[in-house]
Amino acid sequence: MSFSVDVKTELCRAPLSRKCCAQAEAYGVLLYCNTFHAAQARIVTENGAFAQRLPLLFKKAFRLTFDSLPQGGGKQVFEVLEPDKLAALHQTFGTDPRAVALHVNFAMLEESCCRAAFLRGAFLAGGSVTDPRKGYHLELATSHHSVSREVLALMRELDQEPKSAQRKGNAVIYFKQSEKIEDFLTCVGAPLAAMEVMNAKLERDLRGKVNRRVNCDAANLDKAVEAAMSQVEAIRRLEKAGTLITLPDKLREAAALRLAHPEDTLAQLAQRCDPPITKSALNHRLRKLVELGRG
């Protein structure tokens, strides 16, 4: 099951308690569904929860039943074909069925709860969202370009900042930031999905920090190994030249410890000195040995 399906299933659990909100949600559905004009309203969905909600939604909103219902699985088609029912829908929304372009009647969306319900209906009919573990993208697509422009303005009034585009004849409003997607999902009634987006982002950020830390540790380890090898080579050269035995006791001790424990870190090696010394002091002695070995 996809994340989009999960989100729509959660949205369909929202109660149909207020008629004004039911009408606003149905309005969003009709403006973002497959077809809505003077001769037909046609809603197509593959989401089972949405298919179960639609008859209840239209009954609550308009006391209206569909003229055509789904005939089996797969894509489920709901249609309103009777002229009287279609006229009642257009009258409710204050739209002119003969108009070339549909527009949003903002008088239907004066209350904040109705605006949220409207956007919920729009997402149920024409929306999708990517699994946040793979990426961040939520969009609403409709063939009604005027509607899309007006919904974009509505969302900006709600302090949401989506972007817009044209794709295959459709007008698309979309988000690509996880925080914006969280805000939208919370607004329309999917707080659990919003939390999942947040958790996915936290997990991704944590994984990135761990990877950076591992890479940093690996780089530091490589540097430490390279330094230790240089120290061993320098000490071997001093030993071969007979110079090592002439050096001060502290340098000879450091040389002996490095040869005996080539894989130790500076801190570990410093603790092996008698008496133990600081890492900085040991580093100074080893650097001196490397300088002498190069000479």
- Rounded Cα gap, residues 63 and 85, in angstroms: 10
- Rounded Cα gap, residues 125 and 142, in angstroms: 9
Q: What is the pLDDT of residue 207?
A: 81
Phi, psi (5° rounding) for residue 291? -60, -45
Q: Average of pLDDT values for 256-263?
A: 87
Quickly list DSSP for 175-233.
Answer: E-SHHHHHHHHHHHT-HHHHHHHHHHHHHHHHHHHHHHHHHHHHHHHHHHHHHHHHHHH
What confidence category does residue 22 fall into, taking pLDDT thresholds of 50, 70 and 90?
very high
Per-residue pLDDT of 181-197, as tens digits, reads: 999 999 999 999 999 99
What confidence category does residue 295 fall into, taking pLDDT thresholds of 50, 70 and 90?
low
- Rounded Cα gap, residues 78 and 17, in angstroms: 23
8 Å CB contact between 63 and 95: no
Q: What is the pLDDT of residue 18?
A: 93
What confidence category does residue 214 fall into, taking pLDDT thresholds of 50, 70 and 90?
confident
What confidence category does residue 210 fall into, taking pLDDT thresholds of 50, 70 and 90?
confident
Q: What is the pLDDT of residue 53?
A: 96
The encoded tokens of residue 131 equal 């699994």
User: Which is more confidently placed, 98 or 35?
Assistant: 35
Q: Is the pLDDT of residue 200 over 90?
A: no
The encoded tokens of residue 135 equal 């990426």
What confidence category does residue 226 fall into, taking pLDDT thresholds of 50, 70 and 90?
confident
Q: Is the pLDDT of residue 291 over 90?
A: no
Q: Is the pLDDT of residue 221 over 90?
A: no
What confidence category does residue 201 fall into, taking pLDDT thresholds of 50, 70 and 90?
confident
The set of residues, in sequence order, having a beta carbon less than 8 Å from that of 2 and lying 6+ positions away, is: 131
Per-residue pLDDT of 85-101, as tens digits, reads: 999 998 888 877 777 78
Least confident of 15-29, 111-125, 261-275: 261-275
Q: Is the pLDDT of residue 206 over 90?
A: no
Q: Is the pLDDT of residue 73 over 80?
A: no
Q: What is the CA radius of gyration of the chain?
A: 34
Q: Average of pLDDT values for 202-215?
A: 81
Mean pLDDT across the chain, nearest whole number? 90
Least confident of 138-142, 182-186, 217-221, 287-291: 217-221
Least confident of 120-134, 150-164, 255-269: 255-269
Percent of the chain with pLDDT over 90: 55
- Rounded Cα gap, residues 123 and 190, in angstroms: 11
The encoded tokens of residue 280 equal 């900085």
- Rounded Cα gap, residues 115 and 27, in angstroms: 10
Q: What is the pLDDT of residue 228?
A: 81
